[in-house]
Structure 1
Amino acid sequence: MKTVIYLDVLLLVNFLVAYLLLQATGVLTGQHAPFVRMLLGSACAAASALILFAPELAYPVQLAYKLATALVITALTFGWRDPLRLAAAACWYAALNILLAGLVFLVIFETGTTLLQTGNLAVYLRISPLLLLGLSGLCCGVIEAGLRFFRRRPARQETVGLEFELCGTRIHLRAALDTGCYLTDPITCMPVLVVSLADAGSRLPPEIRQYLTGWFAGSEQTAPPAGAQLRLIPCSTATQRSLLPGFAVQGIGLITPNGVLQLGRTAIAFAPESFGDAQYEAFYGSDFL
């Protein structure tokens, strides 16, 4: 008996499933990918399902193929600038794929259904494409409803007090949450605090303020002030990519009613412009606190 596999249905199914798994991966790793990148990653995942037509491979080879394609797919979707975040996304995506394949095998063993066919950890569902679209739409709706229901409520406190030490000077600032801030220290891969030089310049040590002013004015750069460890923080916006100057600091602490809570963050970056609000002088991302 021969089994007929419709290539268009195979690609469509895996495209839709990959889109849902990538959405789940983004939620689990705290990353957000643009819609075009989501489509690109899903298309790559659908193409990777063509391994179904290959001869049955050894299980370790199948697993290695899954992990390698997961790395490529997540790199296309979420980017590859931060190796740690990419590795986390790839591991979660691969784990979700393997979990899904395991559930399919469980269904096959328990029910003996003929609607499912697997090969090399790839899955083929022999049902109507319209039914697949309907089920995928239902899954999307369930996931969206779940995300809205379990989404964290915004913190009542819009700004927080932070402190750190720079060149022997202890500096206190107010910082506001910016969910679009994903800057990280290229040395430690940890999220950084973005400070406005225009708003907080008067609180900085004079030598640091002078150095940063010259940096943003485009003057010829000299060595950073004594005791300051320069960091160049990659920054991407909708219009350009640049490097923001920053410094390693002696830990960043969150000021609370019970004292200062050390956050384990050890770098800050500076932006030349004012943030336009007298209530804060810095921004932090959703994964900073």
Structure 2
Amino acid sequence: MTVYADILFIVNLYVDALLLAAVRRFLRLPLGKGRFLLAALLGGVFGLCALLPDIRGFPLLLLGAMEALALAAAAFAPKPIITLLKAAFLLLLFGAALSGLLLLAQCVLPLRGVLLSNGAVYFDISAPALVLLTCAAYGVLYLFDRLFRKREPDVLFSTLTVTLDGKSASLPAKTDTGLTLREPFSGLPVIVAERRALGELLPPDFGKPDAPPGPGLRLVPFTSLGADGLLPAFRPDCAALSGTPADCWIAVSDRPLSAGSFSALVGAELAPALHQQRKDRFSC
């Protein structure tokens, strides 16, 4: 079979874009259009490996793992390494599912011009057939997601928007019914957010032990399983949860709150969607 490098590049760009979309949805990770395009282009470049001499066994597995990790980093860095490893594993898993579907299609359908080599895929077929096969693979992955992954209600998730001194940051937030922190003097509820997710909203040394106390800094005591301490907090100029204003303080955590699916924890009383769901549930 004659393999054309330009078609090989485009096909693998397209397929890797679908696989990245599946991983993003499965792990609930944010993915901007620029990063999505960058990772897809990198996947197209990796597809050119099909032009190399045939690779099999452990070297092929190692090559696939390295490519998957590079794609995960291109799409989702600087998420924690455990999140990148999960994304790389899912890319390998979903890629194997796609390869299996293509092999099955070759057995039961009169397909010609399909090549799987060195972890890359090549189609010498019409564009409609390419779209049909890749969408079918994505549909299988979506069905797997719906049937086997433990899902949390969407009502538990929202977008936290924080504004301070003219700067704004948006963070994916999760409602935690066990979070009851309050700022001691005002009695207002406290939202806990990851420091790095707040970006340039705060000085890098805000609330750290060796830094001078900044204006508006408050220390909020917390107690959790096996640990207690103080979290530095600030009063934002404006805060909103999915567009609904929230009167609160923001406590800053140097430790990640999740593997990448959310960057802030919100008490139940500050989650308007959850309250509305409860009202609808008990209104008869």
TM-score if structure 1 supplies the norm length? 0.58
Q: 1:127 aligns with which of 125, 128, 134?
A: 125
Which residue of structure 2 lines up, in the alignment, with residue 9 of structure 1?
Answer: 7
Q: 1:69 aligns with which of 67, 70, 87?
A: 67
Structure 2 CA distance for aligned equivalents of residues 241 and 282 of structure 1: 11
The answer to whether the 8 A contact 1:18-1:42 is kept is yes
Matched, 1:53 2:51: yes
Instruction: Tell me which moved more, 79-88 or 110-119.
Output: 110-119
Which residue of structure 2 lines up, in the alignment, with residue 34 of structure 1?
Answer: 32
How far has the Cα of 1:52 moved from its partner?
0.6
What's the secondary structure of 1:200's corresponding residue?
A: coil
Q: How many residues align?
A: 217
The answer to whether the 8 A contact 2:17-2:36 is kept is yes
Instruction: Tell me which moved more, 40-49 or 76-85.
Output: 76-85
How far has the Cα of 1:16 moved from its partner?
1.3
Which residue of structure 1 lines up, in the alignment, with residue 183 of structure 2?
Answer: 200
Change (3 A) 1:134 1:28: closer
Change (3 A) 1:93 1:271: farther
> Which residue type is aligned with residue 178 of structure 1?
T
Structure 1 CA distance for aligned equivalents of residues 202 and 74 of structure 2: 19
The answer to whether the 8 A contact 2:221-2:228 is kept is no
How far has the Cα of 1:120 moved from its partner?
1.6
Which residue of structure 2 lines up, in the alignment, with residue 181 of structure 1?
Answer: 171
Aligned-CA RMSD value: 4.5
Gaps of 5+ in 2: 146-150, 161-169, 174-178, 188-193, 209-219, 252-256, 267-284
Change (3 A) 1:139 1:103: closer
Structure 2 CA distance for aligned equivalents of residues 106 and 134 of structure 1: 14
How far has the Cα of 1:24 moved from its partner?
0.9
Structure 2 CA distance for aligned equivalents of residues 130 and 236 of structure 1: 44
Change (3 A) 1:22 1:266: farther
Change (3 A) 1:154 1:27: closer
Instruction: Tell me which moved more, 271-280 or 130-139.
Output: 130-139
Which string of whole-angstrom CA distances, capped at 9 and with x for unpartnered residues, describes residues 37-71 of structure 1?
00000000111011111111122111111111010
Structure 2 CA distance for aligned equivalents of residues 56 and 49 of structure 1: 13
Change (3 A) 1:6 1:278: closer
Which string of whole-angstrom CA distances, capped at 9 and with x for unpartnered residues, describes residues 156-208 of structure 1?
xx9xxxxxxxxxxxxxxxxx94354259xxxxxxxxx8x8xxx936169xxxx
What's the secondary structure of 1:105's corresponding residue?
A: helix
Which residue of structure 2 lines up, in the alignment, with residue 213 of structure 1?
Answer: none
> Which residue type is aligned with residue 275 of structure 1?
A
The answer to whether the 8 A contact 2:60-2:119 is kept is yes
How far has the Cα of 1:73 moved from its partner?
0.6
Gaps of 5+ in 1: 159-175, 184-192, 205-231, 253-261
Structure 2 CA distance for aligned equivalents of residues 37 and 265 of structure 1: 38
Which string of whole-angstrom CA distances, capped at 9 and with x for unpartnered residues, describes residues 214-262 of structure 1?
xxxxxxxxxxxxxxxxxx932344x66854547894317xxxxxxxxx9
